[in-house]
Structure 1
Amino acid sequence: MKAKITLHKDRVISQIDDRLYGSFIEHLGRAVYGGIYQPDQKTADDMGFRKDVLDLVKQLNVPIVRYPGGNFVSGYNWEDGTGPKEKRPRKLELAWSTIETNQVGIDEFQEWAKRANTEIMMAVNLGTRGADEARQLVEYCNAETDTYYADMRRKNGFDKPFGIKLWCLGNEMDGPWQICHLTAQEYARKACEAAKVMKWTDPSIELVACGSSSKDMPTFGEWERTVLRECYDNIDYISLHSYYGNRDDDTKGYLAQSLNMDAFIQTIVGICDEVKAEKNSDKTVNLSFDEWNVWFHSNEQDKQIPRWSIAPHQLEDIYNFEDALVVGSLLISLINHSDRVKIACLAQLVNVIAPIMTEDDGCWLQTIFYPFMHASVYGRGKALNVDIACDTYDTKELKNVPYVTVAATENENGEVTVFAVNRSLEDSAEIESIGFDGLKLTSHTVLNCDDMKAVNSFENPENIVPAELPVDGQLILPAHSWNVLRFSK
């Protein structure tokens, strides 16, 4: 198969917001307890954080981490995770039917974020709570005043504010599974008033309103219009959530799922701009794709988890090679939409539908770790317009799916990186490149495996790892492969 890549170095899609490569830690399963925090583990630091996990998070170069949920946040009292640990309550956690010990809360997580070289995207509870508790949390985290909640932070040992600048106004409030689920109008009013008092408390913060939990929700579209019409002046972003899976064991169809992400993004952009026009506003509301990943492998095993356990093995998908190709193609879509998608969070970071897995004796990396790391490390700077001309195929759901999908970025040193997935299960792609004058190919990293269902494990952690291909001949993308092509001047 032949494919033609045309790079338009003078046509910039957007400056990429580093937060496009964010992730997510929820109080769910072993994400916190046994994930980032395990005081009795051999690498634990002075606060009980696993240093082996911290090292891997730093390799991913994650710029922001959403916390503490997720469904968890809609029943969470933030004060439970502050102050002396021996006084913190153990509570029933209704979102995931577990027990929350509250040994980690915002007091600890803000310190973990510093040690991980990342920032926090903080979510407030707009389920069982509302505007009052939200503004109090902003004061606790960010205020320098001599006032009650700022003083509470100081009494808990933190003189300086945490300085959290990005906040989520609840989580998936359109979903009947959500604690204190709301209608669109109910949520819009609640979010608008919470946004007002949060920004009055700290005018420097940015706010993300809940969009639809997925494009398959019956209220999709109208939910966004209702929320935007009510909240437009007080918010900065609206959220998108989407998970992908190969439940029908249709690999060709599965590898095309990034086209559904493209359509989802384009629809929400259209709604945002529709409301902008209605309001005759100069302000643009951008998108926060703050939950995305592959999630389906663990669905059946999660039904067997006993209620009211502590940090169970929950949502622990074991990712195979084809999952890595899908994650790579989704990253390509996010880069190509970086003019409007300014924030995105791979859900999640450790153990729970995650690239990093832990055992008591160490960590291992899932297949999806590698495309996410490559994009996060090399996909900074400007997103460039790049065209692909290649053969296409049809799936049960989609027509004219390109066998090859690509994105291109340019960093501050003028180095260009092309990310490419060859979706073909049979044929390599012989690349003709146009518009790369003045650039030299310096490396070609590939993730490839003959077995689409192959996985990594603690016992065999390097079953699927990236390899380097020669750069002195014809440029070839192997069949079913993730590719990182780096060019320098």
Structure 2
Amino acid sequence: MGPAAAEKSLEITRSLIDLAKIEHGLSKPLTVCFDEWNVWDPVRAPGEKGAEEHYDLSDALAVAAWLNVFVRKADIVKIACIAQSVNVISPIITSPEGLYRQTTYFPLHLFSNLMRGSSLDVLVTTPSVDSYYTGITVPAFIRNITLHTPDLAKLTKYIDASAVLANTAQGTKEIRIAIANRSAEQEYEVPIVFGPNVAVSKTITVHEVWHEDLRATNNFGDEKVKTITKETKFGGAYKLKKHSFQILIFTVA
């Protein structure tokens, strides 16, 4: 639950910044640099042994969740630096013979290329208790907040999303929605409702990162997990596969 803890910490930091500005009469905008975020299991990849993680699809979903946090909090987070970039807890693994892209490379690549523009407010509702995780979390306070907060404030929703409004080179506008389904077992048919007076195309582009096996990994010459791009019709809802990540691109009509 690292991304959830980071999001709550950013909200607390924002409040502390506001308090300091009030107490000291400051008007200058103050923002946050979030340094060295990533997925790392020190038991699986001990630091004293090089911290060379071998990531699976679940780790790719975690990276997507981290990046969703930074897009949602883009008003205050202006820099967010992944640690590291090659070999050590990294999206790319190299050897003298070549390299391969880990599962975590693909959400990072999609966000870097597609999720630029103006961050949009996204409200994800959880109509039933099976729409969010209620088990043990690390840190523990995430579970406590989830159990005692209203729907919109829950930090452990299985559906995790962010969105941007982007200008294209062709002069059109696109709404790009990054959605991770963090449930290991459950598919969700998710209605997507836009604000008033917003009309979008009936055909959308989908960039999807998924594999049937949540524990699927990549290796040299064997990329089981990668991005698949397709076009599909949109009729007001989109079915999310279990343990999947996708960016949906809507052209604004």
Q: What amino acid does structure 1 have at the position aligned with 2:161?
A: V
- Pair 1:317-2:53 in alignment: yes
SS at match of 1:411: strand
Checking the alignment, whether the CA contact within 8 Å between 1:288 and 1:344 is kept in structure 2 is yes
Checking the alignment, whether the CA contact within 8 Å between 1:378 and 1:417 is kept in structure 2 is yes
**TM-score (norm. length: structure 1):** 0.44
Q: What amino acid does structure 1 have at the position aligned with 2:200?
A: L
Give the CA deviation at 1:471. Answer: 1.0
Cα distance in 1 for residues equivalent to 2:48 and 2:73: 36
Give the CA deviation at 1:353. Answer: 1.2
Checking the alignment, whether the CA contact within 8 Å between 2:210 and 2:245 is kept in structure 1 is yes
* 1:466 alignment partner in structure 2: 227
Deviations 1:183-219 (A, max 9, x none): xxxxxxxxxxxxxxxxxxxxxxxxxxxxxxxxxxxxx
* 1:422 alignment partner in structure 2: 181
* 1:487 alignment partner in structure 2: 250
* 1:281 alignment partner in structure 2: 26
Checking the alignment, whether the CA contact within 8 Å between 1:445 and 1:483 is kept in structure 2 is yes
Cα distance in 1 for residues equivalent to 2:193 and 2:214: 31
- Pair 1:292-2:51 in alignment: no
- Pair 1:444-2:206 in alignment: yes
Give the CA deviation at 1:479. Answer: 0.9
Question: Which of 403, 410, 419 is the aligned partner of 2:165?
Answer: 410
Alpha carbons of 1:427 and 1:353: their partners in 2 closer, same or farther (altered >3 Å)? same
Number of aligned residues: 224
Query: Which of 1 and 2 has greater Rg?
Result: 1
* 2:136 alignment partner in structure 1: 396
Checking the alignment, whether the CA contact within 8 Å between 2:159 and 2:182 is kept in structure 1 is yes
Checking the alignment, whether the CA contact within 8 Å between 1:366 and 1:455 is kept in structure 2 is yes
Cα distance in 2 for residues equivalent to 1:269 and 1:338: 12
Checking the alignment, whether the CA contact within 8 Å between 2:184 and 2:214 is kept in structure 1 is no
Checking the alignment, whether the CA contact within 8 Å between 1:298 and 1:316 is kept in structure 2 is no
**TM-score (norm. length: structure 2):** 0.82
SS at match of 1:450: coil
Give the CA deviation at 1:459. Answer: 4.0
Deviations 1:122-161 (A, max 9, x none): xxxxxxxxxxxxxxxxxxxxxxxxxxxxxxxxxxxxxxxx
Runs of 4+ deviating beyond 6 Å: none
Q: What amino acid does structure 2 have at the position aligned with 1:394?
A: T
Cα distance in 2 for residues equivalent to 1:291 and 1:316: 16
Cα distance in 2 for residues equivalent to 1:273 and 1:299: 39
Cα distance in 1 for residues equivalent to 2:72 and 2:81: 16
Cα distance in 2 for residues equivalent to 1:262 and 1:278: 25
SS at match of 2:111: helix
* 2:8 alignment partner in structure 1: 263
Q: What amino acid does structure 1 have at the position aligned with 2:74?
A: S
Checking the alignment, whether the CA contact within 8 Å between 2:206 and 2:230 is kept in structure 1 is yes
Give the CA deviation at 1:300. Answer: 5.3
* 2:150 alignment partner in structure 1: none
Checking the alignment, whether the CA contact within 8 Å between 1:273 and 1:284 is kept in structure 2 is no
Give the CA deviation at 1:447. Answer: 1.1
Checking the alignment, whether the CA contact within 8 Å between 2:56 and 2:217 is kept in structure 1 is yes
Cα distance in 2 for residues equivalent to 1:339 and 1:479: 31
SS at match of 2:219: coil
RMSD: 1.9
Cα distance in 1 for residues equivalent to 2:122 and 2:238: 17
Checking the alignment, whether the CA contact within 8 Å between 2:204 and 2:233 is kept in structure 1 is no
Question: Which of 114, 117, 123 is the aligned partner of 1:378?
Answer: 114
Alpha carbons of 1:392 and 1:298: their partners in 2 closer, same or farther (altered >3 Å)? closer
Cα distance in 2 for residues equivalent to 1:426 and 1:295: 23
SS at match of 1:416: strand
Alpha carbons of 1:262 and 1:282: their partners in 2 closer, same or farther (altered >3 Å)? same
Give the CA deviation at 1:448. Answer: 1.3
Give the CA deviation at 1:455. Answer: 1.0
> Within 5 A, what are the aligned runs for 1:12-91?
none
The percentage of counterpart residues that share the same residue type is 27
Range moving further from structure 2, 268-277 or 335-344: 268-277
Alpha carbons of 1:257 and 1:301: their partners in 2 closer, same or farther (altered >3 Å)? closer
* 1:327 alignment partner in structure 2: 63
Give the CA deviation at 1:392. Answer: 2.4
Deviations 1:373-420 (A, max 9, x none): 111111111001121123323121312522211111011241111000
> Within 5 A, what are the aligned runs for 1:54-453?
256-296=1-41, 301-304=46-49, 314-390=50-126, 391-397=131-137, 398=143, 399=146, 400=154, 401-413=156-168, 414-435=173-194, 437-440=198-201, 441-453=203-215
- Flag structure 2 segments of 5+ consecutive residues without an equivalent: 138-142, 147-153
Alpha carbons of 1:300 and 1:384: their partners in 2 closer, same or farther (altered >3 Å)? closer
Q: What amino acid does structure 2 have at the position aligned with 1:407?
A: S
SS at match of 1:468: strand
Checking the alignment, whether the CA contact within 8 Å between 1:315 and 1:353 is kept in structure 2 is yes
